[in-house]
Amino acid sequence: MRGQNRFSRMMRTPGPMLAALLAILFVATGAIAQMADKRVPELSGPPQEMGEVEAHQIPKWVVDDARKERAYPDQPPVIPHSIEGYQLSVNTNRCLSCHKRELTQESGAPMISVTHYMTREGQMLADVSPRRYFCTACHVPQADVRPLVGNTFRDMSEMGINGSE
């Protein structure tokens, strides 16, 4: 009961508690403002001159139709020809006009993998699975360019038997 009386007295005279809360808020705001200068970078600075930048030449696509070696098992093969102007939409997929199972003999193109005819559960379908329909989600054409970043990838066969080097 005594605790209840003390609480009800504090509620009747909130002056000291309110003053303490305001003091804490004032000190905390000042501390945050001082730290913000050190953590937040400057958003504006001296104006920079607008200059002309020389445009790089558009890279040439690799269009030799030669199959490229894959870097790792199950890597999607790269597209060894130009796909510029290919229509790839919900209603049309130009890739399938050559790579679909029943059209490869007359086109001479490699058939898409049988995994493209399967559902996630492994059920075989009569047509290409909707989740495999948009080819460029995994397969890309190659351009003859210098890599943007260095690559230290090494094939498993180069790493030795136990993989430690």
d(CA 83, CA 94): 9
- pLDDT of 142 > 70? The answer is yes
| Cβ within 8 Å of residue 77, ≥6 positions away | 67, 68, 70, 139
Q: How confident is the model at residue 117 (pLDDT cuts 50, 70, 90)?
A: very high
Nearest CA among 149, 155, 118 for reference residue 133: 118
- Percent of the chain having pLDDT more than 90? 25
Taken in order 37, 41, 42, 43, is the CA torsion positive or negative?
negative
d(CA 128, CA 100): 8
- Residues 61-109: pLDDT tens digits? 888 888 888 878 888 999 988 888 888 898 999 999 999 988 999 999 9
Rounded to two decimals, the pTM is 0.56
Domain locations in the chain? 2-39, 60-146
The answer to whether the CB of 46 falls within 8 A of the CB of 129 is no
Tokens at residue 101, please? 């199972």
For residue 131, give the 3-state DSSP assignment.
Answer: helix
CATH (residue range 60-146): 1.10.1130.10
